Structure 1
Amino acid sequence: MLLLFFFIFFHFLLNQIDSCPLTDAYLSRCHCGILTNGESYIKCDEKSLNEIPKFKRSFPYDELILSNNNIKLLTSSSFDNIKTIKRINLYGNFLSYIDEDLLRLLGNYLEELILTGDNEINSLEFLTRYPLKKLRILKLNQFNLQNINLEKIFSNMTKLEQISLQTCQIQQIPQLNQVQILNLENNFLTNSLFLSTIYSSLNLANNQITSIILQNNPNLISLNLSKNFLQEFYSLTISNKNLQTLDLSFNQLSSIDLTILNDNLTYLNLSSNQIQQLKFLSYPKSLLSLDLNSNQLKTLENNSLYEQLNYLNLDSNPLECNCHLKWLTNLTRKPLWPCTSSNFQCQSMLIPRIITFNITYIKTSIDNGLLIEWTLIDNYHTLFYVELSIDHMLEKLSINQTRVYITNNIQFNQYYYICLILIHKYSRDKYCRDIQTIHPIIMNNIKFNDNEIIFKKTQTDNHIYLLLIGICIGGLLTFILLLTCCYLFYQIRIYRNSNSQPVYEKCSQHLHYPIYHCPHHQIIYNSENLSNSTDSTHMDNATLSTTKNNSKHIYQTIDNQDYHSLRKQHYQVFELWNESLKHKR
């Protein structure tokens, strides 16, 4: 049985040697083979080739590996006799020339292409001359792509998933919609960066970025920012909620706030920075690996974060291995750090400490709140300041202060977790209490100084915003009310003017009605055919006849009441005036 197996294996090797499509001159420097997954390959040893090997016939091999040789030129016929190849690897050959027709026969087969240039090649025409229908992975190293529109070049490569453009003199991040993985390591990205991308993996290592803000990166899972000049790092948690791996190593960060990181983060590398302190009121709940190697940490605050970690590296930090770090030895998974188990002693007389720490839910004449009182001892004046922490709010207090009153937004029947943190020469000590607000103690006569009363800032800001919104809405309603009043005043004025018009003007405006229909008026005509009679019936008949015979008659309307109330002398004047009209006519 063993002999049969050996015979089959020997026959298989002979078939492989016989089926290798290389000419005899290259068989000693290259070999052909088949991987366990059934894919075939041709591989040539490093530094042994100065040109693309000669193929004696076309054979359906999957991969051609020519990495780390001395090949400089790629002509239009370099791959003529191996045109069904899927993957070509020419990494580390420092190419100086690539013919534009290089890939003319590989458009239906090529899936992966890896090339290294000499920093002078500034054209990608060989990629766009013929359609590459199946190209998924493209890796170009040491090209000059500074003045090339990458978004236009790759727009028609719909199958492209992964692009690596290392050391290509790129100055900004291109937006390539179809690409999932983008590697821009060792390029010319500089200064502050506001990052919004569609990539799932982004490598920006070894650039010149000084600060970065992660804005909108909903698909981003892995981000590498190592070997930059980062002094500031900030992330909008909601917009980067899928980030799992973050590498910030080899930068210039002096501190970092873990609160800004999302809950899905599992790996965080902060090694080789200048971090002196970790700040966090909360931390990623899924974080498993934290690398703090080679920083400036002197101590660490005891926190449940370290209990959940599978890996914690504190090596090469100037840790003060006193009693304040002894808790690290009790971790289930021991960290990598420079301290030993024999030097966790503290001189207790030098360390400031809190003797009493009380929290009381009280009711004053103004509002309900929490009265926090404490007593501390600092005989050797090593205390720098005191911090008060409550519900993600951190307040800095004076070292001489012994109480504070938190009011305005303390709610009934709620749990509050309150901590006093002593920052002193040797470490940071934390004293915590919790309280449930159920039955307040009435203390109407208690008085507080200005520095003893603390309001929750977030709630105050919300009240200010609501006040501003109310002012804007009130101003708008007042403006609308003024417009309405002006309009009503205008309409009332028009109505009054129309009703105050003289009656005789109204009658004259409606001449199609009989004149004698106008109320409370008597019409006096001055005509040669009319007598001086004042009989109203006669005057009405005269009116009708005169209107028909003479359209140019003169008339005047006089109110009946005014006419009959004339005195005698006035009446004589009126008669004289009437006679004058007759003579004039």
Structure 2
Amino acid sequence: MFLFLILFILLNSINSCPLTDNYLSRCHCEILTNGESYIKCHEKTLNEVPIFKRSFPYDRLILANNNIKNLTRSAFDTIKTIRRINLENNSISFIDNDLLRLLGNYLEELVITGDNIINSLEFLTRYPLKNLRILKLHRFNLSEVNLENVFLNMTKLEILSLPSCQLKQIPNLKNIHQLNLENNQISNTVHLSRSYVHLNLAKNFISSIILENNTQLISLNLTENILSQFSMDSIENENLQDINLSQNYLSSFNFSILNDQLLNLNLNSNHLLSLNLIVIPTNLLSLSISNNLIKQIKFSNRYSSLVNLDLSSNQLKSIEKHFLFEKLNYLNLENNPLDCNCQLEWLKTLILHQTKLNATTWTCRSNVSPISFLSADFQCASVSIPRVQTFNISYVKISIQYGLYIQWSIIDDKNILDYLQISISEPFYLSPKISPNQTEIFLSNQIKLNQQYHLCLILLHKYARDKYCRVFQTDKLIILTSNEIILERNEQNAIQTKDHIDINLFIMLIGSCIGGFITFILILTCFYLCIQIHKYKLKKNKDKTISYYTKNSNLHYPIYHTHSITCPYHHENLSNSTDTSQIDTSLSTTNLKHIYQTIDNHDYSSLTGESQVFDLWNQSLKHKR
């Protein structure tokens, strides 16, 4: 009877499916307990949308994880009243623009996965989709699509998911409460001021983000970006409850920027070196900081609601006892190099009394191999802590200086002391680091007579920071000579120099760069001036030469008529007498100088030879012309 009943239900279910016989073996129809009906086809069995025999009021059509490539115009014609269609993971390469023409009054949810080729959403805008609430498009090419215009008239659309759609910026869409832009190409600095409630920007290339007046934003996912810093205004983002900043490049994080309404914070897989929980949101419930480089944690004494704390895969060796751990429901410290000695014994006691906390996966650092946290003995080896044997103070005058002469002796058998410091309460003064071998110091920091001072000798070593303090009244002045006190200033200066060596090197580097730049400018300036001076000298010499020839051109040379000149070569020029007479005739018409005219005061003794005499003659003729 039982088998017959099962067979009857199965046959009834098959007969109620509005599919042709070709698809009955690959699909099945069901009605859920809440009355919702659906058609689901098995994965990797379909190459097209199945054919329906009649229009049946089914709520959901599930065709995910198949091999469907094309969505033709008539794909959903025989199932007009369907409300939800899921075509996820099908690599759709073609969508007809009239695909949804009969579903405008019914369709509420549509999920499609493309093949990175489809670059148009006209199939969504050609016919109004009055009731569409959820739209998920995966692997489309929407880099050139104006999304604001596409979704302008979809007033009921609340959830929009566009992962891997090659988007380069965040669209400004109204009425959208939940927006998923995971794995796109959004980069650089993002200014976020939208009305979204839930925003997913994971797997992009965002280097920084500025949250401005996102009063409705509740959750923000920035996983797998390239963030190196994160900041926000807690007042303008007062409703933000969930922040995911995992797998970024944060080296520090300021908890004071967070609002008190924050519930969950994820900082996994960053580069954090320390954790400062001095200011922590009051209502924070879950804090996850695994896979970082944290070596130290500072806790606050203020109230906190924290119940889940994940500190796994860090560099923690020890954790100070704090009441925060007593309220935790979950604590993870695995993959940390914990020193399981007496300083962590309180944590083992807490684990044994708190059944909510599980430490079975925690391990302790060991020279041989890691051992289980719960099986460690938590014993501390006896350590000889440095202690002060004497601490003497005197108010002295050396030469013209007044100050305190402080002497001390320290017992440090194991040589574990790092350095010393002297502090004065009023006016506050903290000395530079002092070598552990130094035993005295002279402080002249405006010390006055008949004044009470609170002084401390601070011992800093790897186990603690100890103070030895005294109250001293400067009611007695001791006058000493410079030879009566030995001050180990060389060691003090050496340590002080070591403390400031980094900043000095930095200043020297900057000074060298500036000096080199100035030297380069001066060399260029000198080179330019040399060129200008050289040009000026050349011009000056040229002007002098021109001036000389101009001056000489105005000289009045004596004119000798040919018949009165005794020429050493006169016998060679007898044949030219005719020409000479002609020249004389032409010259007679001009106002020529007399042969006995006084010769200008110039030295013509150098004019020797035939060529110089005739040159002078020709020049005189030209001048008179």
Q: What is the TM-score normalised by the length of structure 2?
A: 0.56
Instruction: Give, as a single letter, the amino acid of the residue that structure 1 aligns with 2:247.
Output: F
CA gap 1:29/1:385 in 2 versus in 1, 3 angstroms: farther
Contact 1:48 1:70 in 2 (8 A): yes
- 2:160 maps to which residue? 163
Secondary structure of 2:136 counterpart: strand
Task: Decide which of 255, 258, 265 is 2:255's aligned counterpart.
Answer: 258
- 1:334 maps to which residue? 357
Task: Decide which of 200, 203, 223 is 2:200's aligned counterpart.
Answer: 203
Mapping 1:308-347, distance limit 5 Å:
308-320=305-317, 321-322=338-339, 328-329=347-348, 330=350, 334=357, 338-339=363-364, 340-341=373-374, 342=376
How far did residue 191 of structure 1 move? 1.5
Task: Decide which of 61, 64, 74 is 1:64's aligned counterpart.
Answer: 61
Distance (Å, rounded) in 1 between the aligned partners of 2:416 and 2:461: 10
After the TM superposition, which of the residue ranges 254-263 and 199-208 deviates more from structure 2? 254-263
- 2:230 maps to which residue? 233
Instruction: Give, as a single letter, the amino acid of the residue that structure 2 aligns with 1:37.
Output: N
How far did residue 430 of structure 1 move? 12
Distance (Å, rounded) in 1 between the aligned partners of 2:74 and 2:314: 58
CA gap 1:210/1:382 in 2 versus in 1, 3 angstroms: farther
CA gap 1:297/1:129 in 2 versus in 1, 3 angstroms: same
- 1:222 maps to which residue? 219
1:284 aligns with 2:284: no
How far did residue 308 of structure 1 move? 3.8
How far did residue 299 of structure 1 move? 2.8
- 1:76 maps to which residue? 73
Instruction: Give, as a single letter, the amino acid of the residue that structure 2 aligns with 1:282.
Output: V
- 1:97 maps to which residue? 94
Distance (Å, rounded) in 1 between the aligned partners of 2:74 and 2:271: 54
How far did residue 220 of structure 1 move? 0.9
Instruction: Give, as a single letter, the amino acid of the residue that structure 2 aligns with 1:244.
Output: Q
How far did residue 429 of structure 1 move? 8.2
Mapping 1:280-429, distance limit 5 Å:
280-303=277-300, 308-320=305-317, 321-322=338-339, 328-329=347-348, 330=350, 334=357, 338-339=363-364, 340-341=373-374, 342=376, 380=416, 382=418
How far did residue 380 of structure 1 move? 3.9
Secondary structure of 2:297 counterpart: coil
Contact 2:200 2:221 in 1 (8 A): yes
Distance (Å, rounded) in 1 between the aligned partners of 2:69 and 2:142: 19
Secondary structure of 1:254 counterpart: coil
- 1:477 maps to which residue? none
Contact 1:289 1:312 in 2 (8 A): yes
1:150 aligns with 2:162: no
The one-character-per-residue Cα deviations of 1:472-531 (angstroms, maximum 9, x if unpaired) are: xxxxxxxxxxxxxxxxxxxxxxxxxxxxxxxxxxxxxxxxxxxxxxxxxxxxxxxxxxxx
1:54 aligns with 2:48: no
Contact 1:350 1:382 in 2 (8 A): no
Contact 1:186 1:206 in 2 (8 A): yes
How far did residue 246 of structure 1 move? 1.1
Contact 2:420 2:433 in 1 (8 A): no
How far did residue 16 of structure 1 move? 2.2
Task: Decide which of 239, 244, 249 is 1:242's aligned counterpart.
Answer: 239
Instruction: Give, as a single letter, the amino acid of the residue that structure 2 aligns with 1:226.
Output: T
How far did residue 214 of structure 1 move? 2.1
Task: Decide which of 35, 43, 46 is 1:38's aligned counterpart.
Answer: 35
The one-character-per-residue Cα deviations of 1:184-204 (angstroms, maximum 9, x if unpaired) are: 000011122222221110001
CA gap 1:77/1:48 in 2 versus in 1, 3 angstroms: same
Distance (Å, rounded) in 2 between the aligned partners of 1:288 and 1:256: 18
How far did residue 254 of structure 1 move? 1.3
Instruction: Give, as a single letter, the amino acid of the residue that structure 1 aligns with 2:163.
Output: Q
CA gap 1:397/1:158 in 2 versus in 1, 3 angstroms: farther
Secondary structure of 1:91 counterpart: strand
CA gap 1:307/1:281 in 2 versus in 1, 3 angstroms: closer
Contact 2:417 2:459 in 1 (8 A): no
- 1:179 maps to which residue? 176
Distance (Å, rounded) in 2 between the aligned partners of 1:75 and 1:353: 88
- 1:212 maps to which residue? 209
How far did residue 13 of structure 1 move? 3.6
- 1:113 maps to which residue? 110
The one-character-per-residue Cα deviations of 1:321-359 (angstroms, maximum 9, x if unpaired) are: 3466555553755377555253756679699999xxxxx
Aligned length: 388
CA gap 1:424/1:147 in 2 versus in 1, 3 angstroms: farther
Instruction: Give, as a single letter, the amino acid of the residue that structure 2 aligns with 1:228.
Output: N
Distance (Å, rounded) in 2 between the aligned partners of 1:24 and 1:235: 60
CA gap 1:236/1:307 in 2 versus in 1, 3 angstroms: closer
Secondary structure of 1:210 counterpart: strand
CA gap 1:398/1:306 in 2 versus in 1, 3 angstroms: farther
Mapping 1:533-552, distance limit 5 Å:
none
Contact 2:139 2:163 in 1 (8 A): yes
The one-character-per-residue Cα deviations of 1:166-186 (angstroms, maximum 9, x if unpaired) are: 000111111111010000000
1:141 aligns with 2:138: yes
How far did residue 19 of structure 1 move? 1.4
How far did residue 213 of structure 1 move? 2.6
How far did residue 263 of structure 1 move? 0.9
CA gap 1:426/1:129 in 2 versus in 1, 3 angstroms: farther
How far did residue 110 of structure 1 move? 0.2
- 2:528 maps to which residue? none
How far did residue 209 of structure 1 move? 1.1
Contact 2:277 2:298 in 1 (8 A): no
- 1:472 maps to which residue? none
After the TM superposition, which of the residue ranges 18-27 and 319-328 deviates more from structure 2? 319-328
Distance (Å, rounded) in 2 between the aligned partners of 1:384 and 1:171: 57
The one-character-per-residue Cα deviations of 1:437-472 (angstroms, maximum 9, x if unpaired) are: xxxxxx9x9xxxxxxxxxxxxxxxxxxxxxxxxxxx
Secondary structure of 1:238 counterpart: coil
Task: Decide which of 257, 264, 269 is 1:272's aligned counterpart.
Answer: 269
Secondary structure of 1:17 counterpart: helix
Contact 2:279 2:300 in 1 (8 A): no
Contact 1:257 1:278 in 2 (8 A): no
Instruction: Give, as a single letter, the amino acid of the residue that structure 1 aligns with 2:198.
Output: S
Instruction: Give, as a single letter, the amino acid of the residue that structure 2 aligns with 1:265.
Output: L
CA gap 1:18/1:260 in 2 versus in 1, 3 angstroms: same
- 2:124 maps to which residue? 127
After the TM superposition, which of the residue ranges 309-318 and 199-208 deviates more from structure 2? 309-318
Higher relative contact order (CA 8 A, sep 6+): 1
Secondary structure of 2:39 counterpart: strand
How far did residue 301 of structure 1 move? 2.7
CA gap 1:71/1:253 in 2 versus in 1, 3 angstroms: same
- 1:359 maps to which residue? none
Instruction: Give, as a single letter, the amino acid of the residue that structure 2 aligns with 1:30.
Output: C
Secondary structure of 2:183 counterpart: coil
CA gap 1:36/1:396 in 2 versus in 1, 3 angstroms: farther
Instruction: Give, as a single letter, the amino acid of the residue that structure 2 aligns with 1:108.
Output: N
Instruction: Give, as a single letter, the amino acid of the residue that structure 2 aligns with 1:310.
Output: V
